[in-house]
Structure 1
């Protein structure tokens, strides 16, 4: 007779401790306020085009110079001096992207290099400045969900990509079961900045709720060259590191700007931090696949990690649609061979006004 009260007391104590921990986490690192945007138009499939990574700067007007007196020719041993303007205007990296160039930006693996000083100085310093045309407008994608979690499961999901100036948020919301009372729900949110080197996450939150079980939350805090893991450990990270949500935006940006080509056999390296550990993620482009969607058949490219994650971390395959601004039309998120969910686009994406 005493067993039931003891069990209930343990459950209450466990839930109280967990809520206290969540309250402590919120006090130490409160979650960012979710950005709100109005989605006013459907995104129509269109012929893909490589977008420039940054607008070409207009040439500055220079004062007219008076003819200088002839200078003596340097001897063969003397170094040839650089022209005065070369040091300030020369671009030390590859030329500006163009539609005709197969790889207009940095070569694969170089997307995380710092921006040349001359180009960085030409951009507005304000945090509210609009990023270049290489970033998609704020977009909402809705998916139908199927998969297996101790049996066949169904549900719904959505991806919300929001940008305001250089600030972005990426939310992946998944619900298994009926929408009014899901058995399992998970939100994976990334918050950070848009930079010349791509997506720069500052914080990642993973919030999981299971019916009749405790709520679980994991948070990653990025500090430039290091990250604070959910267990409190601070670890160094490489340049260009991404989280579980931001990696999909980074892939879209790499393809939109032509920094990475979509061709069978090509491999894209992305440093990735997941709640349990870090990975050097390698996405292999398997090839083209046509998917049947509510918008009709769509040509996509299938990307798959070269190996599975471990320790309970999740692995994600992605199908990218060039005609929809290289956005993910399908996602397959897998924990192991028996536990996975498959997300397929359920309606036309919606975008904010330009």
Structure 2
């Protein structure tokens, strides 16, 4: 009766078979080399097939990446001719875009381009209901000489007033150390409301000339160096004509300059500024001149906002209410005119 091999025998069997095969292979190789050395050909016939089997535990398989095939998008079918086209779906932007509406920050971020202008939005525009229309009586032609204090410098100033028919020209020039420091020129027409400027220019030392244009047919005020526009009101003045306009109002109706009264003007500069100037009449004062003390009426315009202009003016009834003294002050500059001489045109 045959018994099945024990467990140790089963484990040794493969090893013994491997050793036996190895010995047979060595014998065959030795015989083949001897036959080649002695010139004896090996016995023809097929060589025995030797199989060598090594029993080693299998290595664990590497984890291979799982590739999932993405199904192809379904083919689009052409819509029927009468169907309304469907807009394509909007894709989400890759980056979040933050838009800053602050005009200051936007301007700083823009590249330098001389052809690019940012048009300011006019806020708080002056309306005709805020500015009365006064009766006026124009002063005669006059040339007034002043002592000019311009900042910390002292020089000479001259105001030339020339009405002619239905037009006028006013020119104020200040010179310091023999050089022109400020030149203001106002040209325009004369109408029922007094001076009606057409063009006003402002030239300061070290700066280019700036201009305000009163386009009466278009009903607006524009500027040479600023894209801003403002409505042109009846009685609107520039930063030079207001002095003569005050004289014309006071000469037509002296009660307008009684203490405690007010005169309201719409005044425009050459650099895109437009505001209401409200003059409060403070009362009578005497101003010293080379020809003696002159009786005047002082008017004061207080600033209404930061960086605004404070204006003081002393009008002399003996000079058809033209200014004996005029002073303008801002945070960064000031000029003061004090009368030295007055004469009609020659």
For this structure pair, what is the TM-score category when the shorter chain's length is used for normalisation?
A: 0.5 to 0.7
Deviation at 1:276, TM superposition (A): 3.4
**1:261 counterpart SS class:** helix
Q: Is contact 2:200-2:238 (8 Å) kept?
A: yes
Alignment partner of 1:137 is 2:140: yes
1:292 corresponding residue in structure 2: 288
| Aligned pair partner of 1:302 in 289, 298, 303 | 298
Per the alignment, residue 334 of structure 2 pairs with 340
**1: CA distance, partners of 2:306 / 2:215:** 25
Aligned-pair RMSD on alpha carbons? 2.6
Which residue matches 2:171? 171
TM-score (normalizing by structure 1): 0.56
Going from structure 1 to structure 2, the CA distance change for 1:309 and 1:172 (only over 3 Å counts) comes to farther
Q: Which residue of 1 aligns with 2:265?
A: 270
Partners of 1:259 and 1:323 in 2: CA distance: 13
Deviation at 1:233, TM superposition (A): 2.9
Residue aligned with 1:216, SS: coil
Q: 1:228 to 1:260 in 2, by over 3 A?
A: farther
The residue number in structure 2 matching 1:216 is: 208
Q: Give ranges in structure 1 of 5+ residues lacking alignment.
A: 1-107, 114-131
Match of 1:283 among 279, 282, 307: 279
CA offsets per residue over residues 178-236 of structure 1, 9 Å max, x none? 12xx3x611111100111111100110001123xxxx3211000012210023133321
What pairs with 1:1-354 in structure 2 (closer than 5 Å)? 110-111=132-133, 134-146=137-149, 149=151, 152-176=152-176, 178-179=177-178, 182=179, 185-210=181-206, 215-224=207-216, 225-229=219-223, 230-258=225-253, 261-274=256-269, 275-307=271-303, 311=307, 314-336=309-331, 339-347=333-341, 349-352=342-345
Distance in 2 (alpha carbons) for counterparts of 1:256 and 1:112: 11
Query: Cα distance 1:256–1:187, how it changes in 2: closer, same or farther (>3 A)?
Result: same
Is the radius of gyration larger for structure 1 or structure 2? 2
Partner SS, residue 169 of structure 1: strand
Q: Report the number of matched residues.
A: 215
Larger relative contact order (Cα-Cα within 8 Å, sequence gap ≥ 6): 1
What TM-score do the two structures reach when normalised by structure 2? 0.57
